[in-house]
Structures are given as structure tokens and as C-alpha cells.
Amino acid sequence: MHAVLAALALAFCGAAGAAQADPARDDEATGYRFQIVTGDDSEVTRRIAEDLYKRLVPTFAAFRTELGQRRRMLYVAIGPAALRDAVARRCDCVVISAFTSSQVWRVLTAKAPASRAGLLTAVYAEPAPADQLRLAALLYGRPVRVGAVLGRDTAFLAPALASDVDIQPFVPGDDINHALNRMTRAEVLLALPDGDVYNPENVRNILLSTYRRKQGVIGFSADMVKVGALATTYSEIEDINTQVAEIAAAFVVTGELPPPQFPRYFRTLVNEGVARSLDVRVTDGARRFAHLPVRLPAPAPAIARVPARVAPVPAPAAPKP
């Protein structure tokens, strides 16, 4: 679980802190079939890269570029700094981003040349809103009235929410209490990762305010559940890596990348103490709400056949105050 939390911290880092990449053409990548790009050399990042490498090897061991896809190289970018580096490279390549939140992904890819359209995709770090809404209904045992506060960076998620979700807009400088007060009918607050709304100054206030109103909070990370949110769905490192490997395998076959997507595989974490305080009777069905990848036998080692590599980029600079 500690590794998952560290991976989430990496994923939600703001784009402003990402490392600057050299936009020079990446000629040295010629001949490689896939490359894992990392933004740091931490223990968690190494664990992600090593697990992902093992999952990609079986697909690319049999991949012949001269008979395969037009794009010679597939980059997997772990975290925001690595994504910025991969997007900046001028190369005959495609990019799959992982462990980066949806809003940071949008910021970092917004200025990509039009020629890169269809060559960039992602498995977002945060839970799928649809899964979170389903979890809320399971926790309460019935359809539940849900509210959400969306800032500028998460307004694009509105279409992914159910039509009956009470959406309150929020811009920097707004009073978060005013936004919460407008959701008088909501029984649950669906939290979506937005630095303007859920920052260190606001999170404690939000959790206290909703607790007093007997409103459960469906958080966007296990950390939020630990500090007072009611529950969340979350994905382990292996869950995200499985989905990335599936996307890569499909690319080898079809030559196409799907649109960016939320995690397909997840588990559920419930704060039992908060549930009791809110008079929410948590069932085993809610606790076991999950979609887990099928566990396949480990493939035979084929590392020597695949000239892939893990390439770190400089660690992100600290954001300016």
C-alpha cells in the first residue's frame, strides 16, 4: 500500500514542476522497440518499471517492426516528468502515459503538435468516476444523491458524471464552504483530484464540513480514506501496469492507440470508523467491490531477445512558491 500511495503522489504532481526535456530528435532510440521512461530513480518508480518491463517483454519479443506498425518505438512514460520528456521528443513513436492524473495529462499534452494526434494515450492515475458512483450506491444500498465540486482543471470531467450529480463550479479565490453549502441535498461528496479544490488548506475543512452534515466523501485516493473520507476505489501498481501492457499488445496488433482511459482494474478501501459514524451499514458486497485482472502464469524469460531499456529523465524541480 505504501508503494501505491507514493505512486499516487507522483501522479498528482503539478505540471509546473515537471522537468524540461531536450526537444532534439531522439535518434539514439532507433532500433529499440519499446522504452520505459521514468522521471526519477525512487524505489517505487523502479518497482513500477521492473514490473512493467516483465509484462511488455512477451509482446515485443515477437514484434518485427519491418512487418508491424508504422511507428517504430513505443514509449511508456511513468509520471508527469517522464510524460513531458516523451511528448517533447521528435521521433517516430507513440506514447502511453501511466501514473499521471487526467488533468496533468491534459496540461502536458495540450501543446503537442497536431501531427501527434492519435499517437498519445494514457491510463490515468485516479479512479474512474463511474466506478466511484457505483461504490457510493453499494455503500448506501440504494441510489444516492451525489454532489461534486469541479475546478477549472476538472471541469472537463462533467460529462463523465451521471446527469443527476449536483455539480458546483469552483475557481481560485472562492470560499470552499460556499460551494459545499450549495449542495444541501447531496448525501455524498464525490471528490475528484483538483489542486484548486483539494489542497492542504482545504482538505481538512472539507472533511470536517461534510462530516458535520452527515455527508460521506468518496475520495480519489487511499490517503483520503485514511484521513477521513468514507471510501474509494483504488488501483495497485500491478493493476495499472496490466492495463498498460494490454494497450501495448493491442497496438502491436492494430497499429492504433485507444483514447486516454481511467483504470480498468481496481479494489475498494472503506474507512469503517467513518462509516459507523455516518450510520452507513457497509456490506461485504461493497467491501469486495472490485475488478481484478486475470492472473496468468508467468511467461518464460525472454529478456535477452528484447532490446528495450529504462531511461530516466531529470527529477522534477521544486515548484516556485
What is the per-residue DSSP string for 190-221? E----TTTSSTTTHHHHHHHHHHTT-EEE-SS
Domains of the chain: 34-125+237-254 (3.40.50), 129-234+266-288 (3.40.50.2300)
Q: What is the pLDDT of residue 319?
A: 42
pLDDT band at 62 (very low <50, low <70, confident <90, very high): low
- Virtual CA dihedral for 169, 171, 176, 181, nearest 10 degrees? -30
Q: Does residue 76 carry a pLDDT above 80? A: yes
Q: Does residue 17 carry a pLDDT above 90? A: no
Mean of per-residue pLDDT scores for the chain = 84
What's the average model confidence in pLDDT over 20-38? 55
Q: Does residue 261 carry a pLDDT above 80? A: yes
How far is 236 from 233, CA to CA, in rounded Å? 10
2 or 20: which leads in pLDDT: 2
Q: Does residue 236 carry a pLDDT above 50? A: yes
Q: Which amino acid is at 262?
A: F
Q: What is the pLDDT of residue 112?
A: 85
Q: For residue range 286-319, what is the model confidence (pLDDT) as tens digits?
A: 999 999 998 755 554 444 334 345 555 444 444 4
How far is 84 from 104, CA to CA, in rounded Å? 10
Q: What is the pLDDT of residue 201?
A: 86
pLDDT band at 9 (very low <50, low <70, confident <90, very high): low
Q: What angle do CA 21, 109, 151 make, to 5 degrees?
A: 120
Q: For residue range 163-215, what is the model confidence (pLDDT) as tens digits?
A: 899 999 999 889 999 999 999 899 999 999 998 999 888 999 999 999 999 99
Partnered with residue 233 across adjacent β-strands are: 268
Least confident of 101-110, 167-176, 264-273, 294-303: 294-303
Q: What is the pLDDT of residue 66?
A: 45
- Work out the number of other CB atoms within 10 angstroms of the CB of residue 24: 9
Phi and psi angles of residue 92, each rounded to the nearest 5 degrees, phi first: -85, 80
What cell was used for 313?
A: 529523465
